Chains A and B, each alone.
Chain A
Amino acid sequence: MAKQQTSRVNDFVLKIANVNGTGSASANSLLMKTVFRMGVPVTGKNFFPSNIQGLPTWYEIRVSKDGYLARSGSVDIMVAMNAQTYARDLKEVAPGGVLIYDSTWPRDRLLSRPDIEIVGVPLARMCNERFANARTRILMKNMAYVGVLAALLELDREVIVQLVKETFAKKQSLIESNQEAIDLGIEYARANLQCPLPQRVAPLAKTGGHIMIDGNTAAALGCVYAGATVGAWYPITPSTSLMDGFKSFCERYRKDAETGERRYCVVQAEDELAAIGIVLGATWNGARAFTPTSGPGLSLMSEFLGFAYFTELPAVLFDVQRVGPSTGMPTRTQQADLLAAAYASHGDTKHVLLFPADPRECFELAVTAFDLSDRLQTPVIVMSDLDIGMNDWMCRDLDWDPAYRPDRGKVLTAAELESAKAFHRYVDVDGDGIPQRTLPGVHPRGAYFVRGSGHNQYGGYTEDAAEYQQVVDRLAKKWQTAATLVPEPKIRRAREAARVGVVAVGSCDAAIEEALDGLAAKGIHADYCRIRAFPFGKSVRQFLEQHEQIFVVEQNRDAQLKTLLVAETGFPPARLTSILHYGGLPMDHRCVTDALTQFAAQGVAA
């Protein structure tokens, strides 16, 4: 069969199949960063097991000159390092693609394909001959395939050399051995294989002003910059790296150079019930406090979330969503906590949600979350997910406005309390549904009782129907105010007037952008509204009204975003069509492309 000759320069997907716990992460990140430093847009997705060692793991790198950051939906080059998954890895390669395997061991002849090129490289043998230590041999096998790929893809060796130096800056010996293994691979490929492949990398200048960062790290930075001082958490995948990041940034920026004293306090709680309690204890006292978690943790926090809603205490939560229900698939991604988060807890409760679409927005919306939470005196939940939180995304540099000052909301100072006639905690003094609050220890006149039990507008205990209703009706009014304060949606208008609209949240964004570009090229036009917050503001309602048919794209089985839209806007469900992607892997453009193509075809037929 003739090989496909179409140029795939800077436009292909490389996937590495490996066994977890073998140290392949640094090799994979080295490959991705090399492409990035060569100026070519790139993204990496890690598909890892909920396990420490020995199970299959994959790393998918998409090289895209057009800057598409979602998965493409196919694999052009597979590095099959795991015999366990060889059969399925072979199957996944697109026709015309390449499979590279370790030819140290014989390959099952039945596992073959005529429509792809299969390249054997004796990686283990080469490393066993070169390195003495057993552990080094395993690790260097990964670096050896980096070398092979460097030759096949024409990666810049100087860039690789520099990255190796930076990665292992603390250990000179590691720099040497890693570089040696990489060169081993390069030399073998140059001597024995046809280099380069049609799928290769050529320098571009499209990554300037960009960084490669994961959402949890970016969110952690947001917490530092927002001035959060108290963090409480219980470790849970995939949110853990958020608190790890916060701690490491605080060690760098918040530790007194002379005394070693810390201007922050992180408490690893006994469970998520305690984690949210610690956050509330801290915000009650005026600190900015947060907790990162995932679905199961959010379930445990529900009781306190209702308490915070009713007693009107700020709290910032990061729900880095994973696959549910129950334990689900902890290392796979989903957007299936939308309803659980929006209405967490018993009784009439609603919570403000923010939906970042990439790490840069994790940084920005983290800061927004603290401001909104303080302003509205209520929990704000940042709905990230595993794909955003744990994968490295290429995004524009983070920036910071030096003029930023936190909005701490209506917190009365000692001087204000001194001159006030009286202070009543839950009176709607400004008519926006947001009362004034005080902090313990500030002034004798500021004392009040935080209670989850029925209370009147003065903060006193009550079981009186009218007094109770006055308080919860004001909370409903505050909710209306929230809808005017939350971030606006991002709206992308089609080049031509469109009767179709696409609505989505969060990490669906990259796939939708790519789908809409592709559809527009085929003459199918749709507008796109990426909702960034709940409650939905006026512009979300307007967008819905403006379109005959709305496609709601989301990553869960039960169309939770659609449910929220119907429940909260009263929009007719018949005009909302769901596009659902919920298998746990990050979505690619195809489900959106297919649904809109089909709809357009029906329209033409009708």
Chain B
Amino acid sequence: MTSIAKPKIVHQGLKRNALGLTVRDYEGGMSTLCAGCGHDSITAAIVQAFFELDIAPHAVAKMSGIGCSSKTPAYFLSQSHGFNSVHGRMPSIATGASAANRELHLLGVSGDGDSLSIGLGQFTHALRRNLHMVYIIENNGVYGLTKGQFSASADVGSKAKRGEVNKQPPIDPVQIALALGGSFVARSFSGDKDQLVPLIKAGVRHRGFALIDVLSPCVTFNDHEDSTKSYAYAREFSHPAIHADFVPPATEIKAAYDEGAVLPVELHDGSRVLLRKVAKDFDPGTRGAALEYVRAQQRKGEIVTGLLYIDGSEADMHGVNGTVAAPLARLPYEELCPGRDALLKLQQRFR
């Protein structure tokens, strides 16, 4: 037996969401990752976010590529359809899924190897298409399954467990997304559930490509003191730009927020994210400024977290294509076949 089912015990008093489901209904199998892995915290945040959003699990398609991060869809939303694709190619699967059924909630989980090395091309093109999905990169700067090689996101000066020092500059998915026109760009830290859950919820509500790069320390291969993606490093240098609270329209409580410190951003479906500014002049509506801020803090050795850029006005793939509202996969055949008469008529042009 190489996968482990989680025993399901539901307490009578467990909180139920609008669908009458408990948080247990959003969980998955037992994680087989290393104890203390940052990815497991992200799994917990995903469970929490979808539970709180009252989304029926079977209306979610969870997709991944290959790697430790890509194993995690087995550990959440066990009642959702899963797709563990080939290495680095999850964005194309998501593109096809969206093309066929635009009503599904698409959640992609990937890693730094999967998205920034082998799958960099597909990642950027899904971004460019503004594919309507949440795309989480569980970023630890290291290849875990093949025992600790550097990934493309490893920082200069990072030391591998065996002592090798990385000399190549990292690829930062956040900066790529900002530069390539990403419509929702966020970064978080796996150990910061208070920030991560609202970000995931906002990403789900965003119509378009919602990138959440989550620093997720690898306890086995990249959590020693010379690593820039260790727990210790992240806790010390992580620099929250904005604290994002997702507030569903039904339960919005404006009074809880201080006007001066809060920036409300309206999402396409009428719901809003309330952004708490930490940096004084930060505005998630300005792409150039966001990029500059991330770079400036990077030069100081700091990692900016929070919702860094959002633009809900850009058309997603279907908006650009002008696709009908109903999922293509559900259109009746009669609406797709032009019929015999049309064929006979058409052939005049071939005579």
Q: Is the CB of B86 within 8 A of A304?
A: yes
- A213 closest partner in B (C-beta): B350
Q: Is the CB of A440 within 8 A of B61?
A: yes
Least distance between B59 CB and chain A CB atoms (Å): 5
Q: Is the CB of A225 within 8 A of B337?
A: yes
CA distance A439 to B97 in the complex (A): 11
Instruction: List 27 A-B residue pairs with CB atoms under 8 Å apart, sorted by A's residue number.
Output: A33-B351, A229-B328, A230-B100, A232-B99, A261-B322, A265-B99, A266-B321, A267-B129, A269-B92, A270-B122, A273-B122, A277-B92, A282-B99, A283-B96, A285-B61, A287-B100, A287-B101, A304-B86, A398-B347, A399-B343, A442-B58, A447-B58, A448-B82, A449-B82, A451-B84, A462-B3, A463-B2
- A307 closest partner in B (C-beta): B86
Q: Which residues on B sit within 8 Å (CB–CB) of A122?
A: none
Check B116 for interface membership: any CB of A closer than 8 A: no
Q: Which residues on B sit within 8 Å (CB–CB) of A271?
A: 121
Check A59 for interface membership: any CB of B closer than 8 A: no
Given the known A-B contacts A253-B338, A253-B342, A450-B84, are A281 and B3 also in contact in the complex, defined by CB atoms under 8 Å? no
Q: Is the CB of A273 within 8 A of B92?
A: yes
Q: Is the CB of B330 within 8 A of A227?
A: no
CA distance A267 to B317 in the complex (A): 9
Given the known A-B contacts A270-B125, A271-B121, are A212 and B96 also in contact in the complex, defined by CB atoms under 8 Å? no
CA distance A520 to B279 in the complex (A): 89
Q: Interface segment, A173-181, A400-408, A532-540?
A: A400-408
Q: Is the CB of A448 within 8 A of B96?
A: no
CA distance A424 to B336 in the complex (A): 31
Which residues of A374-408 have CB atoms within 8 Å of chain B's CB atoms?
Answer: 397-402, 404-406
Which residues of B294-351 have CB atoms within 8 Å of chain A's CB atoms?
Answer: 317-318, 321-325, 327-331, 333, 335-340, 342-344, 346-347, 350-351
Chain B proximity mask over A397-427: 1 for CB below 8 Å, otherwise 0: 1111110111000000000000000000000
CA distance A303 to B104 in the complex (A): 26
CA distance A443 to B103 in the complex (A): 14
CA distance A252 to B323 in the complex (A): 15
Given the known A-B contacts A212-B350, A284-B83, A442-B58, are A254 and B336 also in contact in the complex, defined by CB atoms under 8 Å? yes
CA distance A261 to B2 in the complex (A): 47
Report the interface size for chain B: residues with CB under 8 A from the other chain.
63
A residues engaging B (CB < 8 A)? Answer: 33, 36-37, 211-213, 221, 224-225, 227, 229-230, 232, 249, 252-254, 256, 260-267, 269-271, 273-287, 289, 303-304, 307, 397-402, 404-406, 439-444, 446-453, 460-464
Given the known A-B contacts A229-B329, A447-B57, are A282 and B96 also in contact in the complex, defined by CB atoms under 8 Å? yes
Given contacts A263-B324, A274-B89, A440-B80, 18 further A-B pairs with CB under 8 A are A212-B350, A232-B95, A232-B96, A263-B335, A267-B99, A269-B92, A274-B121, A275-B92, A279-B96, A285-B61, A285-B101, A286-B330, A287-B99, A289-B99, A398-B343, A406-B333, A447-B81, A453-B84
- A315 closest partner in B (C-beta): B96
Given the known A-B contacts A229-B329, A256-B324, are A281 and B100 also in contact in the complex, defined by CB atoms under 8 Å? yes
Closest 8 CB pairs of A and B: A281-B96, A277-B92, A287-B100, A285-B100, A440-B81, A211-B350, A282-B96, A449-B82
Least distance between B325 CB and chain A CB atoms (Å): 7
Check B94 for interface membership: any CB of A closer than 8 A: yes
Q: Is the CB of B99 within 8 A of A440?
A: no
CA distance A463 to B100 in the complex (A): 32
Least distance between B332 CB and chain A CB atoms (Å): 9
Q: Which residues on B sit within 8 Å (CB–CB) of A439?
A: 101, 329
Check B117 for interface membership: any CB of A closer than 8 A: no
Q: Which residues on B sit within 8 Å (CB–CB) of A282?
A: 96-97, 99-100, 328-329
CA distance A455 to B323 in the complex (A): 36
Q: Which residues on A sit within 8 Å (CB–CB) of B103?
A: 441
CA distance A460 to B5 in the complex (A): 10
Q: Is the CB of B340 within 8 A of A280?
A: no
Q: Which residues on B sit within 8 Å (CB–CB) of A461?
A: 2-3, 74
CA distance A252 to B317 in the complex (A): 21
Q: Is the CB of A447 within 8 A of B80?
A: yes
Check B91 for interface membership: any CB of A closer than 8 A: yes
Which residues of B219-272 have CB atoms within 8 Å of chain A's CB atoms?
Answer: none
Least distance between A173 CB and chain B CB atoms (Å): 22
- A405 closest partner in B (C-beta): B333
Q: Is the CB of B125 within 8 A of A448?
A: no
Q: Which residues on B sit within 8 Å (CB–CB) of A276?
A: 92
Q: Which residues on A sit within 8 Å (CB–CB) of B336?
A: 224, 227, 229, 254, 263
Chain A proximity mask over B200-232: 1 for CB below 8 Å, otherwise 0: 000000000000000000000000000000000
Q: Which residues on A sit within 8 Å (CB–CB) of B339?
A: 400, 402
CA distance A449 to B29 in the complex (A): 12
Q: Which residues on B sit within 8 Å (CB–CB) of A446?
A: 58, 81
Check B85 for interface membership: any CB of A closer than 8 A: yes
Q: Which residues on A sit within 8 Å (CB–CB) of B324?
A: 256, 261-263
Name the residue among A254, A440, A443, A446 with the largest chain B CB count within 10 angstroms. A440
